[in-house]
Structure 1
């Protein structure tokens, strides 16, 4: 490939490191990732649930001196991880639902990645419970379009749309991008390895007590979610999130228990229209074709939502948002003592989102007849009792 084609997978803004809870934080501020290890991650029981960190939370967390990063600090960092993992699911679902042929290679790739993200959300929720916290999921629900949660990588705007090549590049690949992409033949950044070495060394050196009470076990997104009981479990959990998203420093295919490329490179295959292959010059998108699918032309959801939608569209939007809000409420309840049955109920309810979403994607917008509506993913307030 030419130099131009090698660079064309770059998002409109510089990519940020995978959303592992503290690697993301370090890259968001340009701080060396090595300082982001939870060296003081003690785990006393939480006396109250954490509030959603909000914009700029990452920078505030990193401003805390290492010696002062205690239990509350690590719980706050993990709540940022909850927000970041949750923020990926709605845009990926919109891309998947817009593909007409669900048996196509692209549809199957996106569906697998959605499942991974649901699993990652479960992992970080269990990690937060393990160190004495309680995930705040509905409070973390993002508004689209908007920045990534916590102030991570200013300049990336996450929006909802049907699948297009710009959407793949500027949202999907921008979310998952590693600090250095293997397909650009760049040398791996030493800070990535330093960060994970220091992070895991801190856990092993500190050996914090981990509680399994309140953690959940359930089949989520194609994987078995299990409680984090030991430091080995912590290590594996962090590595799963990192490697499934961005791959390793040596290969986009080195991940746990499957031969699929990491998310960033899978999205790259959709964008470039070719499978990723290792060549004498490094990793290139030169494999068999990956045809771009026929899609429902869902337009990007504008700021503030669809203006003046017709009555039948408004009803579908409300129906979708009601189901979505129920999912979020049920997830909150699951990690607040509801247990695996409640988590299973949330996963089951989530399947009901597809019907109204696809129906919206098949309704033309009056002022843009070549485009269709789509879900807004708005979290409705729970009714007062």
Structure 2
């Protein structure tokens, strides 16, 4: 297997999934973990852009709280996979231009082929997109299709024991993103398999229940079903008559939001376009991109032997929230019904 690591837009995960488990090499496992890291990073921008478009001052209301909890979970998953990679001698790569997420675009490695992930404000449509990102192989409420994130993690879980002798516990980060989320240090294969199970069930639930059984976060439903409730506008309930889970419960109202438009590929053109930002708006966009880039650099440093850099990364995430909310307050010149959204571009 000769897939390069630095190729966000490749179909390398599909290629890895086509290799028999017994034929996976140490390099394949490290390659798979790097791609899993890229997958986890790829979800943060669309989820956070939607969350930060909410203008309701009561951030504890159900929909906002649900999205916030899921973002914390995704940050947790990211950290767990980084610990897996460094503990077997791999290096976390986040700031090479080829590794950073591209929006709009498909998920890295060919997962969920045909699904185009974009950045926009919160809406029923964006919530449906998020549920599609998290879709299990066999959802309890809908038919599934395509390669899924959960199936990819299962392949990693099946292969990892073959290379358990490489686990060293080196370059681990133990800082938790919050709540009951335990940042597991990967010292044994049991640590690894427990972490993978948390990632799978928090995203997808189990084959018997849509609930998250991990105990890692305050949300009861796994991510797929939590987002699907927002998309459908109804709570998921078990129908005793049909013996099926159905989205027929109480209404799930959307909070007040700023109507953030879909961010164009490569960001908002700085000139020559009807929606080119003015100087002050361009500065807001550029400041956000710098904060995002600084956060990625701090995360990279944290898993390169400087674990205290995680505090810098967390601080940068707070700065990004404030910048994104300022950006979302600026109307588009060509269509003032909509607002700008942050670009999430890497600044070298």
- Same fold flag (TM > 0.5): yes
What's the offset of the Cα at 1:343?
A: 1.1
Please give the alpha-carbon distance, in whole angstroms, between the structure 2 residues aligned to 1:205 and 1:333.
29
1:243 aligns with 2:201: yes
Deviation per residue, 1:64-88 (Å, 9 max, x gap): 4544422111000111101100000
Please give the alpha-carbon distance, in whole angstroms, between the structure 1 residues aligned to 2:55 and 2:321.
13
CA contact (8 A) 2:266 2:343 kept: no
Q: 1:52 corresponds to which residue?
A: 6
Q: 1:28 corresponds to which residue?
A: none
Please give the alpha-carbon distance, in whole angstroms, between the structure 1 residues aligned to 2:150 and 2:42.
26
Matches within 5 A, 1:204-353: 204=161, 207-222=164-179, 223-257=181-215, 258=218, 260-280=220-240, 281=242, 282-307=244-269, 308-339=276-307, 341-353=308-320
Deviation per residue, 1:229-272 (Å, 9 max, x gap): 11221111011100000101110114211561001100111112
Please give the alpha-carbon distance, in whole angstroms, between the structure 1 residues aligned to 2:303 and 2:234.
41
Cα–Cα, structure 1 residues 231 and 369, in superposed 2: closer, same or farther, change >3 Å? Answer: same
Deviation per residue, 1:15-67 (Å, 9 max, x gap): xxxxxxxxxxxxxxxxxxxxxxxxxxxxxxxxxxx842441212333454544
What's the offset of the Cα at 1:350?
A: 1.3
Please give the alpha-carbon distance, in whole angstroms, between the structure 2 residues aligned to 1:194 and 1:94.
27
SS at match of 1:283: strand
Q: 2:332 corresponds to which residue?
A: 365
What's the offset of the Cα at 1:153?
A: 2.6
CA contact (8 A) 1:116 1:221 kept: no
Q: 1:136 corresponds to which residue?
A: 93
Cα–Cα, structure 1 residues 195 and 117, in superposed 2: closer, same or farther, change >3 Å? Answer: closer
TM-score, reference length from structure 1: 0.79
**What is the total number of aligned residue pairs between the two structures?**
328
SS at match of 1:322: helix
What's the offset of the Cα at 1:192?
A: 11
Deviation per residue, 1:290-327 (Å, 9 max, x gap): 21111100000012321321111100000100111000
Please give the alpha-carbon distance, in whole angstroms, between the structure 1 residues aligned to 2:11 and 2:161.
30
Please give the alpha-carbon distance, in whole angstroms, between the structure 1 residues aligned to 2:265 and 2:154.
41
Please give the alpha-carbon distance, in whole angstroms, between the structure 1 residues aligned to 2:211 and 2:21.
34
Q: Where does the alignment leave 5 or more consecutive residues of structure 1 unmatched?
A: 1-49
Please give the alpha-carbon distance, in whole angstroms, between the structure 1 residues aligned to 2:239 and 2:73.
28
Please give the alpha-carbon distance, in whole angstroms, between the structure 2 residues aligned to 1:269 and 1:208.
43
SS at match of 2:165: coil
CA contact (8 A) 1:218 1:225 kept: yes
Q: Where does the alignment leave 5 or more consecutive residues of structure 2 unmatched?
A: 270-275
What's the offset of the Cα at 1:200?
A: 4.9
RMSD: 2.5
Q: Greater CA deviation, 54-63 or 367-376?
A: 54-63
SS at match of 2:75: helix
Please give the alpha-carbon distance, in whole angstroms, between the structure 2 residues aligned to 1:312 and 1:197.
47
